[in-house]
C-alpha cells in the first residue's frame, strides 16, 4: 500500500487533546499493529510458556528461600523480589508458583504498557467468563485493572519490572483487594519510593552450586569446582552458561563468559541474535526468513534450534533468553559500530512492510527522513499506549523537519499536551505559547482557536482568570454557528474552565450544548464526556441536584459496560457531594473514598487533595470534627507539597470556621487571613469571598460588628465578580447594611443600598432589596431608591426574573403611604415601566397585574392617561369613547384583533381590560397557534354586576351572593354562536376580594385571566379549549408563571428542565 506524504490538515480537539488525522491508511495500519499485538498477547498464557520452559529443566529446589518469600507474601500480599542479573529471580518465581493458586504471569520485557495491563485485565475477565475488551489508552487501562481486581482472587507474578518503572509503580499503587502481587526486578532502587516490601534473591550456596552442576551431569574435579564457585559467585546465569558452553580457560565473571559465547558463534548466528535484540516488538521467524533471505522457514528454524540456549521462541515470536544477554548483544553491536547498520536494515524492512511503529522506533535516531511522513500519525498511538518519552522524541524529531507554521503550531500543541501529562508545567506553557505563535502566523483561525482554548485552561491553572475568560470568549465569538463538529469539543473544554471558576450554570449550559451536538452527530464518546462535566456542574446548582444524581448513576453504569472508565472519578466526586448535601453520609463516604483510591492510583495529585477536602467535609457534617481536622491537615500538607494554591486556600478557610466553632477566635482570624492572601495571589475569587465571610462571622463572635461589616462588604464584592454567586453577593451586602443600620451608620447603610440598586441588572433578588429600602433607608431616600431600583430593572433587556411578588409589596407600601404620596409614587413608577415597556421580560405582565391590583392608587382619569401612553408603545392599540362606552382596540402579534368594551364609570372593568391586553402582549402564544384562524376579531364586553343588569337579563343571572365566591369574582357567560360577543360580568367588590396583598392565596385574578383567554382562543379557532386538557393546562400554567406562582399543577410531560438531555442516546458496547 502506497502512502503519500502528508501534512497537518485537520485538528480535532477533545478534552484538551488535539488529534491530527491526515492519513486514514496510516491510521488503519497503526490500529492493525496495535490490535494484532493485543490479540496475540491475549491469546498467550505466559505462565504456561514459563512452565513449559522450566519443566524441561532440572531445577535446584530452594526450599528455604521459597518458604521465606511465601511467608512475607502472605503477610503483605505484595512483594518485590530483587537481585542482580542472573541470580535466578524468574526461576525462583516459577518454583514459588507451585505453592500458589490462580496464577497469572507476565514479563514486561519488550511489551508496551497498554499490552501488559490489557493482558492482566483480559486474563481476569476470561476466568470470570466475561468477554475480552479492547482498551483505548493507558489511563483507561489502569482504571479497568483497578475495577477488575475487585472481582479477582488471582496471584499475579510480574517479571523484569526494571523494564518499565512507571507502569509497575502504578500497578503497585493499586488497591489489591483479595489478590496477591509478586514483582521481580534487578534494580531495587527504582521502586523504593513505592513503599512496597522487598525480598532479596540470594546467589546459590556451595551446596546448591554442586546440585546445579550435578543436575546437568557435570562432574568437575575439586580444583575445577573451586574455580567455578569463585568465578560464578553462585550466580545461576553464569552456571547456566557453563552448563551450555564449555569454555577453557574458564571465564572469570559473567561478562567474560558472554564475550566468550559471542566469539564462539558464526557470523550468521551473531546476526540472528542481533536482529532479535533490536526491534520494539518481538521479531518473528517469518520476518527473519525474509530479512536474511533464507529459502525456507525450516532452514532458519534449524539455525534457531542451534541457538535454543540463547533464544526463546513463543510460537514464532522470538526474543533473547535473558535481559542481561540482550543488553550485552546491544552493547557489542554499539562498540563495533554495527548497531546503526542493523537498525537501518531492520527499519527499512519494517517500513516496506508498513509496520509503522517498528520502523519509527528503529529509524528515528539514525534515518529520521525515512519515517518523517509518518510521524504525525505515530504520535497519538504512542500517547494512548503511555509511551510518553517515545512520543516526545517523535514530536521533537518532526519539529526539526517542519517548515510550515501550521505543522509547527500543531506539533508544539501536542508537546504542550504531553508535557502537561508529565506534570512539566513550565515546558507545557512554553510549548502552548509557541503553538499559538505559529498557528497565528499560519492564519488558520480554526486551529488557532483550538490552541487558544488550551491556553485559557493553562492560564486558569496559573490563576490568571481575567485573561483566561477573555481568551475563551474570543474563541467562541469567532466560531461559526454551522461549524458544530469543531465547536462541540471546545464547549467541553469551556465547561472545565467554568468549573474551575465556580461558574457552574455557565458550565452546565456549555455541556448541554456540546452533548446535543454530539448527539446529533452520533458521537458516543463526546456525549459521555459532555455528560460527565454536566454532572459536575449540576451537582453544584440548587434545583438540579436530582438530575445530577440521575445522570451520575447512569454514568457509573456506563463505566461498567464500556471502556470509557475514566469518567468514574469525576462522577464519584459529584455523587459524594450530592449525598453529603442530602445527609446520606454512608453513601457520600463510600463514593468519596472510592474517588480518593482512584486518584491515588493514577497519581492525580490535585484530585487527591480535592477529594480529601471533600471527605473532611463529610466527616465534619457527620459530627466527627477531630477526624475531619486530621483529614484537612493531611490535605493541607499535600496541597503545599504539590503547590495547589486553590486547595490550600480552601483548607485555610475551612479550618478558620472550625477554630471559630471551638472558640479560638484569634486562630480563626489568622487562618482566614492566610486563605485571603493565598487566594488573592492567584485570583481565586471564590476562595477570597468565602474566607472573608468566615472572618466576618468570627468578628461578630468577638463583638466587633463594624469590622465584621467591612469583611462582609469585601466578601460581597468578590462574590459579585462571579455571576452564579450574586445571591451570596446580595446576602453579604444585605447583612452588612443591617449591621451598619443597627450601629447607627445610616450613611454607610444607604451607600450599600445604592450599591445594590446599581447592580439590579445582575441576578439579585429585587424583593430583598425592596425590603432593605423599606427597613434601612431614610425617609428622604426611599422614593429615590425605589425609582432607581425599578428603573434599573425595567431598563435592562437581559433581565429575565419575574419580580411580580416584590412589586406587589411595593404596591402595598404605596397604599400605606397615604392617598397623595402613595398615588404620586405609584404613578411615577407606572410611567417608568411604560417608558421602558418590552425591554425586560415580564414587563407587560407586571404592568398589567399592577394596574389590576392598584385599588385606589389609580382612578379612571389615571387609566385614561395610561391608555394614552400605551398607544405610543403597543402595536395598533387605541381607545375611544362613545357615550358611556369605553372601547379598547388592539392587535396581538399582528394576527388577531381584540375589541373590549367597558363603561367609563366602571373603573375595575377598565383596569381588567388594560391588564388583559398587556398579558396577551407578554405571551401571545396563549391565544395564537400555527393553525388557520376561523375568526379575525373577538369582541368582549366587561361589565360590573348590578341590579339593573340582573333585571335586564332575568333568570339567566343569579343573585350576586350566589355568583361570586372566593376565587370566582367574574362570571363568563356562555354563548350559542361565534357571532355572539364574549360577555364577562365582574363583581363590584372584585378589587377588594382579589387583592393579593390582603389575600395572597386567592386565585380570583388568575381565574379571570385564564377563563377569559380560553374563551378568546375558543372564539378564534372555533374550538372547545376548556374541554381540551392539553390546551387548558398550557394556558393555566403559562398564566400562573406570569403571576410567579410555583405551586400550580404543572404538566411534567410538557415542562422540561433547561438542562434535560436524552441519556438513552448514549450507546455502550
Note the pLDDT tens digit of each residue in 1003-1058. Answer: 889 999 999 999 999 999 898 888 888 888 889 888 988 998 754 443 333 445 67
Query: Does residue 110 contact residue 120 with C-beta atoms inside 8 Å?
Result: no
pLDDT higher than 50, residue 181: yes
Q: 299 in helix, strand or coil?
A: helix
* 201-215 average pLDDT score: 88
Q: What is the pLDDT of residue 791?
A: 80
Q: Is the dihedral of CA 966, 968, 970, 973 positive or negative?
A: negative
Give percent above pLDDT 70 in the chain. Answer: 86
The Cα-based distances of 61 to 71, 96, 150, 211, 225 in angstroms read 17, 10, 34, 9, 20
* Cα gap 891→587, rounded to integer Å: 58
pLDDT at 887: 95
Predicted local distance difference test score (pLDDT) of residue 944: 92
Q: What is the torsional sign of CA 809, 813, 815, 819?
A: negative
Mean pLDDT value of segment 597-616: 76
Non-local CB neighbours of 28 within 8 Å, separated by 6+ positions: none
Least confident of 258-262, 475-479, 667-671: 475-479
- Which three three-digit cell numbers place residue 849? 397585574
**Coil/strand/helix, residue 250:** coil
pLDDT of residue 47: 52
Confidence of residue 652 (pLDDT cuts 50, 70, 90): very high
Question: Is the pLDDT confidence value at 41 over 50?
Answer: no
The string of pLDDT tens digits covering residues 315-335 is 888 988 887 888 899 999 999
pLDDT at residue number 1048: 43
Of the ranges 438-452, 705-719, 990-1004, 1042-1056, which one carries the lowest mean pLDDT score?
A: 1042-1056
Q: Which residues pair with 887 in a beta bridge?
A: 880, 901
Whether 674 contacts 651, CB under 8 Å? no
Confidence grade of residue 772 (pLDDT, cut at 50, 70, 90): low
What is the rounded average pLDDT for all residues in the chain?
A: 83
When pLDDT is cut at 50, 70 and 90, the band that residue 246 belongs to is: confident
pLDDT band at 21; cut points 50, 70, 90: very low
Sketch the domain layout of the chain as residue ranges: 44-200, 206-264, 267-363, 644-701, 704-796, 822-1043
The count of other CB atoms within 10 Å of the CB of residue 206 is 11
Contacts 24+ apart (CB under 8 A), 28-32: 29/1, 29/354, 29/355, 29/356, 30/356, 30/357, 30/377, 30/378, 30/381
**Lowest mean pLDDT: which of 90-94, 202-206, 283-287, 532-536?**
90-94
Per-residue pLDDT, 338: 93
CB 1038 within 8 A of CB 929: no
Other beta carbons within 10 Å of 1009: 27
Q: What is the DSSP code string of 436-484?
A: HHHHHHTT-HHHHHHHHHHHHHHHHHHT-HHHHHHHHHHHHHTS-TT-H
Judged by average pLDDT, the poorest of 441-445, 537-541, 794-798 is 794-798
pLDDT value for 12: 29
Q: What would you measure as the largest C-alpha separation in the chain, in angstroms?
A: 142
Residues 647-654: what's their mean pLDDT? 93
* In contact, 197 and 220? CB cutoff 8 Å: no
Residue partners of 703: CB distance under 8 A and separation at least 6 = none
Helix (H, G, I), strand (E, B) or coil at 382: helix
| Rounded average pLDDT over 407-430 | 82
Question: 651 versus 506: which is more confidently predicted?
Answer: 651
Phi, psi of 366 (to 5 degrees): -110, -30
| CB contact burial 623-656 (16+ within 10 A = b; e otherwise) | eeeeebbebbebbbebbeeeebbbbbbbbbbbbb
Residue 15: pLDDT band (50, 70, 90) is very low
Lowest mean pLDDT segment, chosen from 21-30, 186-195, 224-233, 562-571? 21-30
Residue 862, CA distances (Å) to 481, 681, 854, 867 in order:
49, 58, 11, 9
Given this model, what pLDDT does residue 191 score? 93
Residue 673 has pLDDT above 90, yes or no: yes
In b/e form, how buried is each residue of 871-904, taking b as 16+ CB within 10 angstroms? eeebeebebeeeeeebebbbbbeeebbbebbbbb
Using a pLDDT cut of 90, give the percent of the chain over it. 32
Q: What pLDDT does residue 763 have?
A: 45
Q: Give, as one character, the DSSP assignment of residue 201.
A: P
pLDDT at 690: 94
Residue identified by cell 479497568 is: 144
> Could you give the C-alpha distances from 1045 to 450, 805, 833, 924, 996, in angstroms and in order?
45, 9, 22, 19, 12
- In this structure, CATH architecture of domain 44-200: 3-Layer(aba) Sandwich (3.40)
Residue with the larger pLDDT of the pair 105 and 783: 105
Task: Flag the least confident range among 36-50, 742-756, 1039-1053.
Answer: 36-50
Residue 54 has pLDDT above 70, yes or no: no
pLDDT at 724 (0 to 100): 64
- C-alpha closest to that of 535 among 525, 545, 526, 523: 545
- Cβ atoms of 1034 and 1025 within 8 Å: the answer is no
> How confident is the model over 819-838, as pLDDT tens digits?
888 899 899 999 999 999 98
Confidence of residue 34 (pLDDT cuts 50, 70, 90): very low
Task: Calculate the CA 448 to chain-centre distance.
Answer: 23
For the stretch 717-739, pLDDT in tens is 998 887 667 778 888 888 898 89
Q: How many CB atoms lie within 10 A of CB 52?
A: 10
Range with the poorest average pLDDT among 191-200, 469-478, 875-884, 890-899: 469-478
Pick from 568-577, 578-587, 664-673: least confident: 568-577
Report the run of H or E that residue 730 belongs to, with start and end: helix 726-742
In angstroms, the Cα distances linking 905 to 863, 864, 886, 972 are 11, 12, 9, 21
Ramachandran region of residue 893, left (φ > 0), alpha (ψ -120 to 50) or beta? left
* Nearest-angstrom CA–CA distance, 133 and 121: 8
∠ CA 170-171-177 to the nearest 5 degrees? 125
pLDDT value at residue 958: 67
**CA separation for the pair 759, 793 (Å, rounded):** 9
> What average pLDDT score do residues 508-517 get?
90
Identify the H or E element spanning 758.
helix 746-758
Report the pLDDT value the prediction gives residue 100, as an integer from 0 to 100. Answer: 82
pLDDT tens, 839-883? 888 999 999 999 999 999 999 999 999 999 999 999 889 999 998
Question: Scanning the structure block, which residue is given the C-alpha cell 454512608?
Answer: 586
pLDDT at 591: 85
pLDDT in tens, 300-311: 888 888 898 899
- The per-residue pLDDT for 497 is 80
Q: Which carries the bigger pLDDT value, residue 803 or residue 400?
A: 400
Backbone angles phi, psi at 413, to 5 degrees: -60, -45
**What is the rounded CA–CA span in Å between residue 265 and residue 239?**
19
Which whole-number Å values give the CA distances from 314 to 79, 304, 321, 729, in the listed order?
28, 12, 11, 69
When mean pLDDT is compared over 285-294, 503-512, 537-546, the highest value belongs to: 285-294
Strand order in the sheet with 283-284: 283-284, 317-320, 311-314
Q: How confident is the model at residue 901 (pLDDT cuts 50, 70, 90)?
A: very high
Beta bridge partners of 103: 155
**Environment class of residue 600 by beta-carbon count within 10 Å: exposed (0-12), middle (13-18) or buried (19+)?**
middle
pLDDT at 779: 59
**Would you state the pLDDT for residue 51?**
59
CA distance 8 to 719: 44
Amino acid at each position: 500500500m502506497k502512502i503519500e506524504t502528508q501534512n497537518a490538515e485537520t485538528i480535532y480537539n477533545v478534552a484538551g487533546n488535539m488529534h491530527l488525522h491526515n492519513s486514514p491508511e496510516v491510521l488503519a495500519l497503526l490500529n492493525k499493529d496495535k490490535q494484532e499485538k493485543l490479540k496475540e498477547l491475549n491469546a498467550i498464557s505466559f505462565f504456561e510458556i514459563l512452565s513449559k520452559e522450566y519443566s524441561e529443566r532440572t531445577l535446584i529446589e530452594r526450599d528455604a528461600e521459597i518458604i521465606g518469600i511465601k511467608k512475607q507474601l502472605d503477610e503483605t500480599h505484595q512483594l518485590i523480589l530483587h537481585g542482580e542479573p542472573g541470580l535466578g529471580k524468574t526461576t525462583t518465581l516459577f518454583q514459588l508458583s507451585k505453592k500458589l493458586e490462580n496464577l497469572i504471569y507476565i514479563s514486561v520485557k519488550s511489551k508496551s504498557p497498554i499490552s501488559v495491563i490489557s493482558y492482566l485485565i483480559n486474563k481476569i475477565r476470561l476466568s470470570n467468563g466475561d468477554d475480552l475488551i479492547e482498551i483505548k489508552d493507558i489511563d483507561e487501562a489502569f482504571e479497568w485493572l483497578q475495577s477488575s481486581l475487585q472481582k479477582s482472587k488471582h496471584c499475579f507474578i510480574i517479571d523484569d519490572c526494571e523494564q518499565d518503572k512507571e507502569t509497575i509503580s502504578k500497578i503497585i499503587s493499586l488497591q489489591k483487594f483479595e489478590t496477591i502481587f509478586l514483582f521481580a526486578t534487578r534494580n531495587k532502587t527504582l521502586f523504593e519510593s513505592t513503599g512496597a516490601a522487598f525480598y532479596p534473591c540470594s546467589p546459590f550456596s556451595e551446596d546448591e552450586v554442586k546440585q546445579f552442576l550435578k543436575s546437568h551431569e557435570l562432574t568437575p574435579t575439586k580444583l575445577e569446582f573451586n574455580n567455578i564457585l569463585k568465578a560464578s559467585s553462585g550466580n545461576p546465569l553464569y552456571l547456566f552458561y557453563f552448563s551450555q558452553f564449555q569454555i577453557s580457560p574458564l571465564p572469570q565473571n559473567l561478562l567474560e563468559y558472554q564475550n566468550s559465547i559471542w566469539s564462539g558463534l558464526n557470523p550468521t548466528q551473531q546476526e540472528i541474535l542481533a536482529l532479535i535484540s533490536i526491534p520494539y516488538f518481538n521479531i518473528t521467524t517469518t520476518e527473519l526468513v525474509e530479512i536474511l533471505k533464507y529459502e525456507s522457514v525450516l532452514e532458519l528454524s534449524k539455525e534457531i534450534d542451534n541457538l535454543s540456549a540463547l533464544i526463546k521462541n513463543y510460537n514464532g515470536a522470538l526474543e533473547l533468553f535473558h535481559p542481561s544477554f540482550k543488553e550485552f548483544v546491544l552493547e557489542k553491536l554499539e562498540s563495533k559500530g554495527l548497531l546503526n547498520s542493523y537498525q537501518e536494515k531492520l527499519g527499512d524492512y519494517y517500513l516496506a512492510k508498513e509496520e509503522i511503529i517498528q520502523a519509527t522506533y528503529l529509524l528515528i535516531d539514525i534515518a529520521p527522513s525515512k519515517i518523517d511522513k509518518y510521524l504525525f500519525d505515530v504520535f497519538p498511538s504512542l500517547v494512548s499506549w503511555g509511551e510518553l518519552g517515545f512520543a516526545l522524541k517523535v514530536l521533537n524529531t518532526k519539529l526539526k523537519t517542519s517548515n510550515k507554521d501550521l505543522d509547527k503550531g500543531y506539533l508544539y500543541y501536542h508537546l504542550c499536551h504531553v508535557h502537561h501529562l508529565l506534570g512539566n508545567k513550565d515546558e507545557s506553557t512554553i510549548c502552548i505559547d509557541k503553538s499559538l505563535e505559529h498557528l497565528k502566523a499560519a492564519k488558520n483561525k480554526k486551529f488557532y482557536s483550538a490552541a487558544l482554548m488550551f491556553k485559557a485552561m493553562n492560564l486558569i491553572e496559573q490563576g490568571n482568570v481575567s485573561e483566561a475568560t477573555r481568551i475563551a470568549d474570543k474563541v467562541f465569538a469567532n466560531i461559526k454557528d454551522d461549524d458544530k463538529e469543531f465547536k462541540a469539543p471546545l464547549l467541553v473544554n469551556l465547561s472545565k474552565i467554568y468549573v474551575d471558576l465556580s461558574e457552574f450554570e455557565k458550565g452546565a449550559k456549555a455541556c448541554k450544548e456540546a452533548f446535543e451536538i454530539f448527539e446529533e452527530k452520533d458521537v458516543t464518546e463526546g456525549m459521555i464526556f459532555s455528560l460527565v462535566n454536566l454532572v459536575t456542574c449540576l451537582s453544584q446548582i440548587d434545583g438540579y441536584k436530582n438530575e445530577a444524581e440521575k445522570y451520575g448513576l447512569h454514568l457509573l453504569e456506563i463505566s461498567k459496560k464500556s471502556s470509557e472508565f475514566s469518567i468514574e472519578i469525576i462522577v464519584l466526586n459529584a455523587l459524594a457531594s450530592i449525598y453529603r448535601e442530602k445527609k446520606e453520609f454512608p453513601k457520600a463516604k463510600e463514593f468519596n473514598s472510592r474517588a480518593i483510591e482512584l486518584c491515588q492510583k493514577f497519581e492525580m495529585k490535585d484530585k487527591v487533595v480535592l477529594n480529601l477536602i471533600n471527605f473532611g467535609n463529610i466527616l465534619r457534617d457527620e459530627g466527627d470534627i477531630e477526624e475531619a481536622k486530621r483529614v484537612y491537615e493531611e490535605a493541607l500538607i499535600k496541597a503545599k507539597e504539590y503547590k495547589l494554591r486553590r486547595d490550600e486556600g480552601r483548607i485555610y478557610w475551612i479550618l478558620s470556621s472550625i477554630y471559630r466553632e471551638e472558640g479560638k477566635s484569634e486562630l480563626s482570624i489568622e487562618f482566614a487571613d492566610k486563605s485571603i492572601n493565598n487566594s488573592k495571589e492567584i485570583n481565586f475569587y471564590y476562595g477570597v469571598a468565602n474566607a472573608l465571610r468566615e472572618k466576618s462571622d468570627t468578628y461578630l463572635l468577638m463583638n466587633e460588628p463594624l469590622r465584621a461589616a467591612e469583611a462582609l462588604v469585601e466578601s460581597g464584592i468578590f462574590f459579585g465578580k462571579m455571576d452564579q454567586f450574586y445571591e451570596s453577593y446580595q446576602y453579604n451586602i444585605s447583612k452588612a447594611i443591617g449591621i451598619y443600620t443597627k450601629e447607627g451608620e445610616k450613611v454607610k447603610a444607604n451607600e450599600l443600598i445604592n450599591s445594590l440598586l446599581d447592580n439590579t441588572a445582575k441576578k439579585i433578588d429585587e424583593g430583598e432589596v425592596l425590603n432593605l429600602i423599606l427597613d434601612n433607608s431614610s425617609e428622604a431616600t426611599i422614593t429615590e431608591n425605589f425609582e432607581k431600583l425599578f428603573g434599573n430593572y425595567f431598563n435592562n433587556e437581559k433581565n429575565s426574573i419575574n419580580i411580580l411578588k416584590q412589586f406587589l409589596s411595593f404596591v402595598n407600601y404605596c397604599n400605606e403611604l397615604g392617598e397623595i404620596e402613595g398615588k404620586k409614587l405609584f404613578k411615577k413608577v407606572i410611567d417608568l415601566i411604560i417608558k421602558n415597556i418590552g425591554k425586560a421580560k415580564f414587563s407587560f405582565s407586571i404592568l398589567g397585574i399592577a394596574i389590576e391590583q392598584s385599588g385606589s392608587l389609580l382612578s379612571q382619569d389615571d387609566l385614561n392617561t395610561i391608555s394614552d401612553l400605551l398607544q405610543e408603545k403597543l402595536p395598533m392599540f387605541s381607545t375611544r369613547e362613545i357615550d358611556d362606552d369605553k372601547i379598547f382596540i388592539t392587535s396581538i402579534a399582528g394576527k388577531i384583533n381584540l375589541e373590549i368594551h367597558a363603561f367609563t364609570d366602571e373603573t375595575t372593568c377598565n383596569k381588567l381590560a388594560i391588564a388583559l391586553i398587556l398579558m396577551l402582549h407578554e405571551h401571545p402564544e396563549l391565544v395564537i397557534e400555527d393553525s388557520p384562524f376561523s375568526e379575525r376579531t373577538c369582541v368582549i364586553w366587561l361589565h360590573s354586576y348590578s341590579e339593573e343588569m340582573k333585571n335586564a337579563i332575568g333568570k339567566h343571572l343569579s343573585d350576586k351572593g350566589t355568583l361570586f365566591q372566593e376565587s370566582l369574582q367574574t362570571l363568563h357567560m356562555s354563548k350559542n354562536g361565534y357571532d355572539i360577543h364574549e360577555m364577562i360580568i365582574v363583581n363590584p367588590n372584585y378589587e377588594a376580594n382579589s387583592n393579593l396583598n390582603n389575600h395572597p392565596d386567592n386565585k380570583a385574578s388568575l381565574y379571570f385571566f385564564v377563563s377569559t383567554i380560553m374563551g378568546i382562543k375558543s372564539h378564534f379557532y372555533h374550538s372547545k379549549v376548556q374541554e381540551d386538557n392539553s390546551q387548558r393546562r398550557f394556558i393555566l400554567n403559562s398564566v400562573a408563571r406570569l403571576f410567579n406562582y410555583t405551586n400550580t399543577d404543572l404538566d411534567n410531560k410538557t415542562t422540561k428542565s433547561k438542562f434535560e438531555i436524552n441519556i438513552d442516546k448514549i450507546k455502550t458496547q
